[in-house]
Structure 1
Amino acid sequence: MEPKNDTAALIQNHRSIRKFTEESVPKEVLEDIIRSAQWAPTSHNVQAYTIISVTDPDLREKLEELCGPQEYVGAAPVFLVFVADFHKHALISEDQGTAFEMEEAENVLVGAVDTALAAQNAFITAKAYGLGGVMIGGIRNAPHKVAQLLELPTWTFPVMGMCLGYPEHLPGQKPRFPLPGVWHHNKYQEKEVQEALPAFDQITRSYYQNRPVNPKRESWLEQMASYLAAPRRPQMTTFLKEQGFTFK
């Protein structure tokens, strides 16, 4: 059954776009995208994020290398960096003469969630304008260097980048995990997850082997096992502590 409204269809037709036309994104469109980001849900109205548009060619080139390299970071008409930001709250606490308690993991979670929700709002709005794009987790590959390039103050950290532009073409959609393995009722349904795993293994193995661009032999299960078999960006732990999030 197809979605019954345009918003659901927009969301459920998601594809990551990495190749763009040379058409620029109008300033008023980008401004509207950022306004939508601001209207994302935010914990306790903290609004713990900042969005940086990177337009300087030299900065783009350096970020492209740090993120992978990923050439679309430099080539996309728009590149945004979504930053979790408690720096302004530190200024507020100083001005108000109150304590600034940032030793718990909760505030890192709030910052990451607030920022991700803002990014998703921006992404959906961009698609409503006919744009496409891709999220860039590689912005966390070298957080110290990214922070230096973007002059990020203490109490901030990069969460993701976002490439946006008009799609050169639409690739196929990657399969998603079976609904019963994701949507549980009243409690965590271990049996549903166990049953969904082999079913999804078959679906993804066929998808990756038969897609016309960059086919793979591995299924999603095999990819996830490999992905989680090694530490992921351990430098982020050190970086977060140096940015003020010391943890107890």
Structure 2
Amino acid sequence: MQPVSETIKLLHRHTSVRQFQDKPVSDELLAAIIGAGQMASTSSNVQAYSVIAVTEQPLKAQLSALSGNQAYIEQCPVFLVWCADLYRLREAAAPHLQGTESYEDTTENLIVATVDAALAAQNAAVAAESLGLGIVYIGGIRNEIAKAAELLGLPELVYPVFGMCLGYPAAVNGVRPRLPLAAVLHHNRYDAGTTVQQAGVYDDISRDYMRERTGGQSDTAWSEMMAKRQTQPSRLHMKEFLLNKGFMQR
């Protein structure tokens, strides 16, 4: 029997929320959620991320348009933009360098900052759900990332990793099943055969889920959806944007 706690139950109830009530999120609540995000693990305590809470309706509308016209960006009371941020690190450390070369522009530090932002965001997501709110991540903020970065006033060495709609759910979707544990949990060595075999098991699970979700209109397997996704080039501008922002110089 697997151990169960209230936290584990909460995590297993997670689902993306795309319809929000017309109910504000108070500054106190937002501070509590972001504060919980700050307690996530961070590489060497660099805390290389920042969060922009967008509440101005015209700005949300602009960001929605840049993110694929996802209406829930406008509908949610708070749109959080989670940014990898090496600018603050560079500027805070500069007075102490005394001419020593600094390496904040490396590919490794881009990874560190991106991971830091993701860890903090997921902490915040769990905190929000524990308080009765809902979230959905928005990768579409990277669709026209240069324009989004300009709108948000992002300096060199800061980029938006993803957005997050935050608010009180007006409707909740069913929980989408994940890959079998055996597909992702390896013991001591990577098991290439098992992970592919378990992806096949997941195809059957995902077909059943899609049939139920669409009322029998679709029964597309996960591997089919992934094959279609992989044949569609996505955001090929990212490398150039990151280089222009000062990332990945070494």
2:43 is the counterpart of 1:43? yes
For 1:181-220, list aligned pairs within 5 A: 181-212=183-214, 216-220=218-222
1:65–1:3 CA distance, 2 compared to 1 (3 A): farther
**Equivalenced residues, count:** 248
Mapped to 1, the partners of 2:140 and 2:187 lie a distance apart of: 35
Aligned to 2:78: 78
Aligned to 1:24: 24
SS at 2:22 equivalent: coil
Distance apart, 1:169 and its partner CA: 2.1
Residue by residue over 1:121-154, the C-alpha shift from the partner in whole angstroms, topping out at 9 and shown as x without a partner, is: 1100000100011011111111100110000000
Mapped to 2, the partners of 1:247 and 1:225 lie a distance apart of: 32
SS at 2:59 equivalent: helix
- The answer (yes or no) to whether the contact 1:102–1:247 under 8 Å persists in 2 is no
Mapped to 2, the partners of 1:136 and 1:2 lie a distance apart of: 32
TM-score (norm 2): 0.94
2:103 is the counterpart of 1:101? yes
Aligned to 2:181: 179
Which blocks of at least 5 consecutive residues in structure 1 are unaligned? none
SS at 1:9 equivalent: helix
Mapped to 1, the partners of 2:216 and 2:48 lie a distance apart of: 37
Identity %: 42
Aligned to 2:140: 138
Residue by residue over 1:61-102, the C-alpha shift from the partner in whole angstroms, topping out at 9 and shown as x without a partner, is: 000111111000010011100000010112123222342214
Which blocks of at least 5 consecutive residues in structure 2 are unaligned? none
TM-score (norm 1): 0.95
**Greater Cα shift, 165-174 or 101-110:** 101-110
Aligned to 1:60: 60
- The answer (yes or no) to whether the contact 2:110–2:248 under 8 Å persists in 1 is no
Moved over 6 A (4+): none
1:28–1:2 CA distance, 2 compared to 1 (3 A): farther
1:130–1:3 CA distance, 2 compared to 1 (3 A): farther
2:113 is the counterpart of 1:115? no
Distance apart, 1:212 and its partner CA: 4.2
Aligned to 1:231: 233
SS at 1:146 equivalent: helix
- RMSD across aligned positions (CA): 1.7
Distance apart, 1:2 and its partner CA: 7.7
Mapped to 2, the partners of 1:5 and 1:129 lie a distance apart of: 17
